[in-house]
Amino acid sequence: MSNTRYRPEITNAGLSPTHPVTAVDEYNTPRQLEVPGESPLTLYVDGREIVTLMTIGAHPEALVLGYLRNQCFVERLEQIKSISVDHSTESAHVITWDSIEGWDEKLKKRTVTTGCGQGTVFSCTLDNLYTLRLPDIKIRQSVIYALLDNISDRNKIYRRSGAVHGCALCEGTDSLMYTEDVGRHNAADAISGYMWLDDISGDNKIFYTTGRLTSEIVMKTAHMGIAVLLSRSGVTHMGLELAQELGMTMIARAKGKHFLVYNGAENIIFDAQPEQRPVRAR
């Protein structure tokens, strides 16, 4: 079966991403505001507890699916029979057609990462990383500028409530999908889940995030088959080293007409006129 025809049975249990609250400002004036949700979602696969994710809860099924994919716990979408999310029990149950073997080995070694709310990387995630072959693509400077401009108004939850990260799957100057969650790793996993469900390839795509580019985000982007990583935030040294090893183009501190290419400058076509820099007085 091909992914274009097969989809597991899934619930549609997305929660409202924000909640109304009252706060008092510096003038002792009450203000009606919104804050993002944050609740635990414990993932079970064939009855076995795998992990508890802290999430906004807006895309729980896609989050679960992307988490299993990016951690290399499940290799093919066709292995999954159903995904059922029940917020009353704070649980997500994944049922496979044939029980997946080797869970003890898969879960044996884990690393707590810098992901918001503490992300986790398992040994099997790393084992599969260096078998990946990322596509060789070029990107125009003008496309980066246009994409940054187009994506600037997609962060609806952040503008309403703050306290969330956003991630986007982009092609050319267009944002194909945008997700927000309390952690950038959750937002990335949700996009990975939607890509899997809709059989979307990472070829010729750009992955955008509002968060810093750590080794965890580089790994998730690589597992999605995407060769260009773009962020408005900075990079970590380990994230940069991993991008260099994988041949991933890493662009950070990107906002307006400014960006820094930390890796893969040879893949950027600098086709925009440089801005006139002011001369500093001595």
Q: Is the pLDDT of residue 97 over 70?
A: yes
Give the CATH fold of the 9-126 domain.
Ubiquitin-like (UB roll) (3.10.20)
Q: What does the alpha-carbon distance between residue 139 and residue 274 come to, in Å, rounded to a whole number? A: 17
Q: Is the pLDDT of residue 118 over 80?
A: no
Mean pLDDT score, 62-72:
94
Mean pLDDT score, 48-54:
91
What pLDDT is stored for residue 119 in this prediction?
Answer: 54
Q: Which of 166, 162, 159, 163 is nearest to 187 (CA)?
A: 166
**Where in the chain are the domains?**
9-126, 139-269
Q: How confident is the model at residue 230 (pLDDT cuts 50, 70, 90)?
A: very high
Tokens of 106: 């898969």
Q: Is the pLDDT of residue 130 over 70?
A: yes
CATH of 139-269, one of 3.30.465.10, 3.40.140.10, 3.20.20.70, 3.30.1950.10: 3.40.140.10
- Asked whether this chain's domains 9-126 and 139-269 adopt the same fold, the reply is no
What pLDDT is stored for residue 55 in this prediction?
Answer: 93
34-43, 53-62, 102-111, 224-233: least confidently modelled range: 102-111
The 8-class DSSP code of residue 143 comes to H
Q: Is residue 116 classed as helix, strand or coil in its secondary structure?
A: coil
Q: How confident is the model at residue 68 (pLDDT cuts 50, 70, 90)?
A: very high
The amino acid occupying position 212 is: R
What pLDDT is stored for residue 80 in this prediction?
Answer: 97
CB neighbourhood size of 258 (10 A): 10
Q: Is residue 12 classed as helix, strand or coil in its secondary structure?
A: coil
For residues 78-110, b (16+ Cβ closer than 10 Å) or e, as one string?
bbbeebbbeeeeebbbbbbeeebeeeeebbeee
Mean pLDDT of the residues in the chain: 87
Element containing residue 122 per DSSP (H, E):
strand 120-122
| Start-to-end CA span in the chain (Å) | 69
Q: How confident is the model at residue 4 (pLDDT cuts 50, 70, 90)?
A: low
Q: In terms of DSSP H, where are the helices of the chain? A: 60-70, 103-106, 123-127, 141-151, 156-161, 184-197, 215-223, 237-246
What pLDDT is stored for residue 110 in this prediction?
Answer: 60
Q: What is the pTM of this model?
A: 0.86
